Structure 1
Amino acid sequence: MPNTKRDYRTNLSVNALVFLDKKEVACTISDISITGAQLEIHPQPHFKNAMMLAEFIEIGDEVDFSVEEMHFDGKIKVVRKEIKNDKLYLSIELDDLFFGLENLAYKRKVYRTSHRMSGLIIMNGKSYEAVSQNISANGLTATIFEEVDIINGAELTINFYDPDVNGKARVIWHKTESEKTLIGLEFIQLMEPVKGIATFKI
């Protein structure tokens, strides 16, 4: 006998933001369950119509997403797209969300998106190879693949690629583990602003 059980879905409808074509796009989220929801993408002045907007979205895409009213943000996965009455609707899976209400001690003001990029962290006259875990408009988290003696508040130079993130940063926190160091940085002065990432205010 087939399993006809479905996740409970609420008829709640709230405003949200998704990051499409390197832009923050307004939408409405509805039919919310523990695993998924539906998005209605609002008309966008830089897209001629819903069909043009749909060209920027592929089934399986992972998209940055924020719902300020419900205090969560993170990654969603597009599983279906449909155009009705010149409106674009997306069925999504809730893949990797951060729930702000459960993490009030972590007072982020700008959304951080998961993003891996390689680069160098330069401090005390030495260069360390590093890989980022996430990035926002005002900072990033990265792993240095060796144990490094760091002081919170220290200033250093960063050179990351794709996107290019070059300039000065300050150590906000760090954690040393076996043969690696995890480091949280706040940008002080970059050669140019970080491009191509979501900057939701949360």
Structure 2
Amino acid sequence: MAEERSYRKNLAIKGFVYMGGQELEVKVRNVSITGLLAELKTEGVMNDVKDVFQAIKLSPVIDIYLPELRVAGEAEMVRSEKVDGHLLFALEFRNIYYDVDNLVYSRRAYRKNMAAPGHVWINGESHTFTTENVSVDGLMIRLEGKLDLEPGAVLRYEFKRLELSGEAKVIWREQGEETTLLGLEYLYLEKDSIKGVPRFIHE
């Protein structure tokens, strides 16, 4: 009996992956509902399978963005091989968002889902938050309780997971029954220097 396998559609479209602290261009060769096969197009960065395993030694889960398919999120590297001089990646989808609006991505950076603790100071008092997602532009955070904050307020923050600290501006606020959700924009921060978070904005 033939091994059961999800239907794979052959393609030749551009995409991007983020691993080893670098954004790399790939050509998607085929895709299914569970994953994809891609060929590395960025030259001079990785030359062999051992370079791939070095890049994912801390975690096999990497960020991906496929503009033409309007897909973004995380995928796990399940195989890498070199065929006829081409370095190939087999990726299995993990946390994927479909129907990503291209217009949104042309204006704002990729948002990486990340749940990690941090601290923010409001009126001199320290509050612990948990991130919902992060980007090179800012953070979406959740705090316990209802907090009276207006857009435009500037807060001091510390987020050790990404080694970030400084000031951020409140862009929006959403009140829940027992929590407050805030959208924060970094102030005075070099946005291309955030290690671990891709930008995924390309011409």
Shorter-chain TM band: 0.7 to 0.9
Among all aligned residue pairs of Structure 1 and Structure 2, give the percentage whose two residues are the same amino acid. Answer: 28
In the alignment, does 2:56 pair up with 1:57?
Answer: yes
Distance 1:101 1:18, change over 3 A: closer
Give the drift of 1:102: 5.8
| CA–CA distance in structure 1, aligned partners of residues 104 and 195 of structure 2 | 28
Distance 1:103 1:148, change over 3 A: farther
Alignment of 1:172-191 (within 5 A): 172-190=171-189
Other-structure match for 1:84: 83
Distance 1:71 1:148, change over 3 A: same
Residues 163-199 of structure 1: CA deviation (Å, up to 9, x unaligned): 1111121112222223321211111223884223211
| CA–CA distance in structure 2, aligned partners of residues 156 and 150 of structure 1 | 10
Alignment of 1:121-132 (within 5 A): 121-132=120-131
Other-structure match for 1:148: 147
Q: Quick check: 2:119–2:159 contact (8 Å CA) kept in 1?
A: yes
| CA–CA distance in structure 2, aligned partners of residues 126 and 57 of structure 1 | 39
Q: Write 1 or 2 for the structure with the bigger share of helix.
A: 2
TM-score using structure 2 length: 0.84
Secondary structure of residue in 2 paired with 1:30:
strand
| Structure 2: tracts of 5 or more residues without a match | none
| CA–CA distance in structure 1, aligned partners of residues 107 and 146 of structure 2 | 27
Q: CA RMSD in A?
A: 2.8
| CA–CA distance in structure 2, aligned partners of residues 104 and 54 of structure 1 | 32
Secondary structure of residue in 2 paired with 1:31:
strand
Alignment of 1:20-169 (within 5 A): 20-42=19-41, 44-47=43-46, 49-55=47-53, 56-57=55-56, 61-101=60-100, 109-169=108-168
Other-structure match for 1:17: 16
| CA–CA distance in structure 1, aligned partners of residues 103 and 23 of structure 2 | 24
Give the drift of 1:124: 2.0
Distance 1:150 1:197, change over 3 A: same
| CA–CA distance in structure 1, aligned partners of residues 23 and 85 of structure 2 | 20
Residues 142-176 of structure 1: CA deviation (Å, up to 9, x unaligned): 11123222212222111111211111211122222
Across the two proteins, how many residue pairs are aligned to each other? 200
| CA–CA distance in structure 2, aligned partners of residues 51 and 82 of structure 1 | 6
Counterpart of 1:194, as a letter, is: I
| CA–CA distance in structure 1, aligned partners of residues 80 and 45 of structure 2 | 20
In the alignment, does 2:197 pair up with 1:197?
Answer: yes
TM-score using structure 1 length: 0.84
| CA–CA distance in structure 1, aligned partners of residues 179 and 153 of structure 2 | 18
Counterpart of 1:91, as a letter, is: A
